[in-house]
Each structure stands twice: as C-alpha cells, then as structure tokens.
Amino acid sequence: MNIMPFQFHSAPVRVVEREGEPWFVAKDVAELLGYKRSRDAISQHCKGAVKHRLPTESGTQDMQIIPERDVYRLVMRSKMPEAEAFEEWVVGEVLPAIRKQGSYSLNKPEDLSKMDVLKMALESEEQRLKLEQEKQDLIAQIEEAAPKVSFTEQVQRAPDTISVAEAAKIIGTGQRRLFDFLRNIGWISRRNEPYQEKIEQGLLNVKLSNFQHPEHGLKQSVTTVVTGKGLTKLKQLWDKHHPQLH
C-alpha cells in the first residue's frame, strides 16, 4: 500500500490509497486536532474507520485509517483554533497533490481528459457544499443549546448568593414578578423574607445590613438573597410555570 507522508505545521499526516481513494491515518489526524483520547474520538466520530497493516519505524502494525468524510467530522468537532486551517490545507493542498501524483487516480495527469478534469472539479465542489451544510447543521445545534449553556455559565460565575433583582435578570423577568412568584410557591413570606425551611434547604439566605434611621437611630435590615442551588431550582420552577415564555 502506497503511503504519502505530508506535514502540517511540522506534524506528520500519513495518507494511503485504498480502492482508488485517499485514506488518512486516523491517529495522525486526531492527535493533530487536539483530541487527548484519540482512540475514543475515532470510535465516536469516524463511522468509516477500518484497520490496515502499515509499515512504521517499529515494524508493520495494524493502524486505523479513515476516509475523507471522517477527517471533516473530526475537524468540525475539534476545539483547536488550527482546525479550520487544517481543513483548508487538506482540501487545498493534500487532495490536489494526491491527484497530481496519481495515487488518487490510476491515470497520469497528462492522460486526463477535459471530462475527467471537470468531473474531479465537480466532485470537489460537491464535497465542499456537503461539508458546508454539515457545518451549518452543527452551528444550528449549538445555537439551539446556547440558552441552556448560557444559564449554566451564569450560575457557575455567580457569587455564593445574589439578590432577587439579579436572579430576575438571569431568569428573564422583573424583580416584582419574581417576588410574587416566590410568595406563590411558598419560598418567602408576605414581608419578602425567606422561610426557615428554604434557608435550611440551601435555596435562600438572608443578608443583614445596618442603616441609620433619622428618628430611631441605628436599625438593621433583612434582605432575601438567592443561592446558586436556589437559582438553578428557581429557574426550573419558573420555566415549568411559564411555558408560554419559551
């Protein structure tokens, strides 16, 4: 089996010919794209992976190789900033080089007819359009999940407790409406103070602060605050009682 060695930013990428098509050594691609567990990534994302015996520095070994479409699957799911550049390198340099050297086609370049050239160009354009559609589908999935990710990140970044006003902003409502809702679900009293049960459950807490009253001197105020655990639970209850807002 003919092996064509390429390099992307000094990293080796081995390509072999199988049934007239280019196949990439899966380990090379996965490691280059930053997958820490390359075997898991190949098993999960590469539907067409097969094993082939290939010569290596330590002798002939069974290695997994993947078709072009699985290379694109690894690219789309990679978190490496170089992933897009790698994709362009494969499409713009590797595949044309393979075609030119004849390992992607049994015909020599000079033997190709105009019809063959047009066919190859059409196949490349079809592959590009297919890849673009897969990208758009993946972007749509990410955007659909964005509100959930955004809320989770806000909870993780929030301090130990936040005010009801801040909780209302995160949930997507007004402070007064959230206070009404907290009373309706039995979390706070008519004076907007949390019930002891909710404090013990770790959902709410109180913030004490002193202020100077013009007639009665130093006084203490009690402010209801929401914990991270409480915010997560509160968001679930709010969404359940207000499905029309989603």
Residues 102-137: pLDDT tens digits?
Answer: 544 434 444 455 565 566 556 666 766 776 676 677
Note whether 159 and 97 are within 8 A (CB): no
Q: Which of 51-55, 60-64, 242-246 has the lowest mean pLDDT?
A: 242-246
**One-letter amino acid of 43:** S
**Cα–Cα distance, 123 to 130 (Å, whole number):** 10
Beta bridge partners of 14: 5
Structure tokens belonging to residue 19: 């049934």
Note whether 83 and 103 are within 8 A (CB): no
In the chain, pLDDT over 70 holds for what percent of residues? Answer: 72
pLDDT band at residue 50 using 50, 70 and 90 as cut-offs: very high
**What are the residue ranges spanned by the domains of the chain?**
3-109, 113-157, 161-245
pLDDT band at residue 207 using 50, 70 and 90 as cut-offs: confident
The mean pLDDT of the chain is 80
Q: Of 97, 40, 94, whose CA–CA distance to 64 is shortest?
A: 40
Q: How many CB atoms lie within 10 A of CB 229?
A: 13
Q: Of 221, 227, 209, 207, whose CA–CA distance to 167 is shortest?
A: 227
pLDDT band at residue 88 using 50, 70 and 90 as cut-offs: confident
The DSSP result for 193-235, as a single string, is -B-HHHHHTTSEEEEEEEEEETTTEEEEEEEEEEEHHHHHHHH
Mean pLDDT within 1-18: 85
Most confident option among 55-59, 87-91, 196-200, 221-225: 196-200
Q: Torsion angle of alpha carbons 102, 107, 110, 111, nearest 10°?
A: 180
